Chains A and B, each alone.
Chain A
Amino acid sequence: MIDGLLMGLGAAISPFNLMMVFIGCFLGTFIGMLPGLGPMSIIAIMIPIAIQLGDPASALILLSGVYYGAIFGGSTSSILINAPGVAGTVASSFDGYPLARAGQAGKALTIAALCSFAGGTVGALLLMIFAPVLSTVAKLFWSAEYFALMVLGLTAIAAFAGKGKIIKAMCMTVFGVMLATVGESALHNAARFTMGIMDLQSGIYFVTLVMGLFALPEAIFLILDKSRSKAMANNNKIENLRISKEEAKEIAPVIARQSLLGFFVGVLPGAGATMASFLGYGIERNLAPAGEREKFGKGSIRGLAAPETANNAACTGSFVPMLTLGIPGSGTTAILLGALVALSITPGPRLMEDQPEVFWAVIISMYLGNLVLLILNLPLIPYIAKLLTVPRHYLIPFVIFFSLIGAYIGQNNATELLIMIGLGCMATILRFGGFPLPPLIIGFILGGMLEDNLGRAMRKAGGMEFMWERPMTLAILALALVLLVYPIWRDRTKKQSD
């Protein structure tokens, strides 16, 4: 192992490869800021260039830099303008954007950068030590367990069911799940709720929904609420990156927990960064003390640290099934796998023995990618955060332009713009009505996976028996129940003792 490690290190730190990691991170960060261009499309664009490099280590280093850069860049648009470009950074906007609006954009971005770094680095460490063992974890989960995991993920919506909003939050969740049913159903080979519109055949496109739900109404509310945007622009703390000792103490345990949890969720094929970030968000909220819990969704630094750590750790975790089993667990790793095959590397159980230098170069490149990303981005944060001090009449058109481009670019389909504007109008009305929108997006993202896994689990077991046939399914479902009931019970008993 040490030999391989040194070989990988030797390959990774040549001047040329260091330049690759730098270029990759830089490009990834900037392109990733554009909503609609997630890591998947950026890597797809970069692959021909990477293959031209010829050397597998250099190619992988470049691509993994792009990958991490894109995820980091995605968080930036979530936090600054409430326009998450990929599903994995949606949860970062829940608390990141309120923080930025309160004039703490610099701090929010710094927390995001540090948490990403920590999540990615811990993930790489775990990958290094446990990769061979972990391949068995990926083989444990059936559709029944995935279904249970989705149910667990849905408990995150409790964060938005604050005082008097329980019914509203539940309505929005159900609405989100309903939107997820639009389009072709994998289980029944039938198109549902498309109203004969061809553009709805493959369902509502995620970026279109997020832009319509978050970014567009946000721009409208910025126009309507003059006082708020003024407060935002005049706040001189915006460029302040400093995190106080108390804050560091507060998020340290969150980072520790979420880098572990995120990594293990990432190992499961198909779950990935999105599940990890929602789970992390929900769990941290339930673990937080009562006063802190109220802050979730309104600008809690825990609420930002949890998904930011978990999604990066999960990205690293998703390399486990790819490298050790040759199975891509996500769209991004599927594309990376294609690049590996094109470079004549066959990932699988024998990769570590047959081509140790490649295996280790990947892992070393992850460390490097995360490190360079941090070094590259920390000095840039004050400038990126300054974006918010841009006068309203420049900023708002910019946000609208940004979100329209985002909805268009991923699908190259002009109808997406119409769908997005329609969703935007609907979301604006819902916001006026005091309906929380995050539960809608959580319901939408988890709803599709929930249905598919439920259908498969039922088909496999021949009915609802799957819920108790396997101990692991039962355990996860029980955990979900506990997570829902425990905070209520805790508050009740506390009130009584008061």
Chain B
Amino acid sequence: MKLSFFKAAAVAGLASIVAFSPVTQAGGHGGKIDNIHFLIPGGAGGGWDGTARGTGDALTRSGLIKNASYENMSGGGGGKAIGYLIENAKSNSGTLMVNSTPIVIRSLTKVFPQSFRDLTPIAGTIGDYAALVVKADSNIKSFKDLVKIYEKDPNELAIAGGSVAGGMDHLVAALAMKSAGADPLSVKYLPFDAGGEAMASLLSGEADALSTGLSEAVGLAEQGEVRILVTTAPKAIDGIPSLKSEGYDAEFVNWRGFFAAPGISADQKAKYVKVLGDMYKTKEWEEVRAQNKWVNIYQPGDDFIKFLEKQEAEIGGLMKELGFL
């Protein structure tokens, strides 16, 4: 009996930690924000989760805010949390939702009916460039070689990625081919559940190339297993050429950033923008950033909106061309 009580208590205790994180009200006394409640549209352990918790951790430890609380709300590929934040906007002025490039893609494909315009974009904070990768012993030595094979027979070039067909990794591969003047439609894309499985497919020889995040590829490239052909950065990084640096007109960054509820006051918005901006100067953020190998990209307020609009136009155009819209 005693034991079952203990277990019941453990269940209840855990449930309260994991599930019922209190919805804190916006602080905002004396021009500063005291508390931020982070809404995470996916489960514990994912990329969104890590970004929100890392950011909250840096903000509280550096003393920029007093408290950070977190709430995981999975469902609908992120749509559940977006819907929740819009419906309950009034009681959520103290909430920041973390999100990333898929919010743009999934609102285009109508996975959820809303888009970033229905929220208050605060800032893009970190990013990761995409990369095209081959096995270290592959006879494809450069992006040019890759395009050559592709143009000869697209069926001879299976490209793996860690997202669904029409998802980010697929779009990046198509974008690169398009920038080289090849037909983006006939990319033979093999979708995997996760980047790791896609990487295994590359190493097994099933896939001839891999479209993935640069940070994921760098580790394996350092170990001498794969070769990074090209990235989608604006310029070459550490000797790795980018599409731009090779003379192709294509750029892509998978950003992560924060959104507030619609209709918050301009004052409140400015405070959020400022506190995230101030964060970059703290050593606590630098620790978190270095630990996770994130790349800083600070796009505050209106810059962020402009960036999102541009990305939406680019991706939307490409998806239409590919027949996904």
Contact = CB atoms under 8 A, between A and B. Distances in A.
B111 A186 contact: no
With most chain A CB atoms within 10 A of its CB, the pick from B15, B109, B200 is B200
A184 B45 contact: no
Nearest to A348: B223
Nearest to B207: A460
Interface of B: 1, 3-4, 7-8, 10-11, 14-15, 18-19, 43-45, 49-50, 53, 57, 71-77, 79-80, 83, 109, 111-112, 155, 158, 164-167, 188-194, 196-197, 199-201, 203-206, 219-220, 222-225, 291-293, 324
Contact of A398 (B4, B190, B200, B205): B4
A331 B225 CA distance: 22
B21 to A, nearest CB: 9
Interface stretch (A8-16, A243-251, A407-415, A432-440): A407-415
Interface in A165-196: 184-189, 191
A188 B18 contact: no
A44 B223 CA distance: 26
With most chain A CB atoms within 10 A of its CB, the pick from B10, B19, B225 is B225
- Closest 5 CB pairs between A and B? A348-B223, A44-B45, A189-B166, A198-B76, A269-B200
Given A33-B7, A44-B44, A411-B74, A186 B112 contact: no
A286 B166 CA distance: 42
A413 B75 contact: yes
A330 to B, nearest CB: 8
A459 B77 contact: no
15 contacts: A44-B49, A139-B200, A141-B204, A143-B206, A189-B167, A270-B192, A348-B222, A387-B3, A401-B11, A408-B19, A411-B74, A412-B19, A459-B189, A460-B188, A460-B206
A37 B14 CA distance: 10
Contact of B14 (A31, A48, A184, A187): A31
Contacts of A342: 291-292
Contacts of A333: 196
A350 B223 contact: yes
A386 B80 CA distance: 41
Nearest to B47: A338
Contacts of A328: 194, 196
Contact of B45 (A41, A405, A415): A41
A323 to B, nearest CB: 12
A326 interface: yes
Contact of B196 (A41, A198, A202, A269): A269
B206 A142 contact: yes
A34 B11 contact: yes
A384 interface: yes
Contacts of A321: 196, 200
B219 to A, nearest CB: 5
A464 interface: no
B158 to A, nearest CB: 5
A411 B75 contact: yes
Contact of A185 (B19, B111, B164, B194): B164
A198 B80 contact: yes
Contacts of A390: 1, 4
B193 A452 contact: yes
A222 B324 CA distance: 50
A201 B15 contact: no
Contacts of A402: 11
A384 B220 CA distance: 45
Interface in A330-355: 331, 333-335, 337-338, 341-342, 346, 348-350
A335 B191 CA distance: 21
Given A201-B76, A384-B3, A456-B190, A327 B43 contact: no
A329 B225 contact: no
A351 B53 CA distance: 29
Contacts of B188: 459-460
Contacts of B77: 184, 201-202
Given A41-B45, A346-B222, A138 B324 contact: no
B10 A30 contact: yes
A274 B206 CA distance: 23
A202 B76 contact: yes
A44 B19 CA distance: 15
A460 B223 CA distance: 28
A191 B111 contact: yes
B222 A409 contact: no
With most chain B CB atoms within 10 A of its CB, the pick from A387, A402, A413 is A413
A294 interface: no
Interface string A16-55: 0000000000000011011001001101110010010000
Interface string A202-238: 1000000000000000000000000000000000000
Contacts of A99: none
Contacts of B71: 412
A289 interface: no
B294 to A, nearest CB: 11
Interface in A117-158: 138-143
A310 B260 CA distance: 47
Nearest to A384: B3
Contact of A415 (B44, B50, B75): B75
B194 A334 contact: yes
B74 A201 contact: no
B109 A189 contact: yes
A219 to B, nearest CB: 15
A383 interface: yes
A412 B223 contact: no
Contacts of B75: 198-199, 201-202, 411, 413, 415
A349 B293 contact: no
A34 to B, nearest CB: 6
Contacts of A269: 196-197, 200
B291 A412 contact: no
Given A41-B44, A327-B196, A412-B71, 18 more contacts: A31-B10, A44-B45, A138-B203, A185-B164, A198-B80, A201-B75, A201-B111, A202-B75, A269-B197, A269-B200, A270-B197, A326-B220, A326-B225, A328-B194, A346-B219, A348-B220, A350-B223, A456-B192
A203 to B, nearest CB: 11
A185 B324 CA distance: 13
Contacts of B193: 186, 270, 452
B200 A350 contact: no
A238 B318 CA distance: 64
Nearest to A142: B206
B173 to A, nearest CB: 14
A462 interface: yes
B1 A139 contact: no
B165 A188 contact: yes
A198 B7 contact: no
A456 to B, nearest CB: 5
Contacts of A410: 43, 74
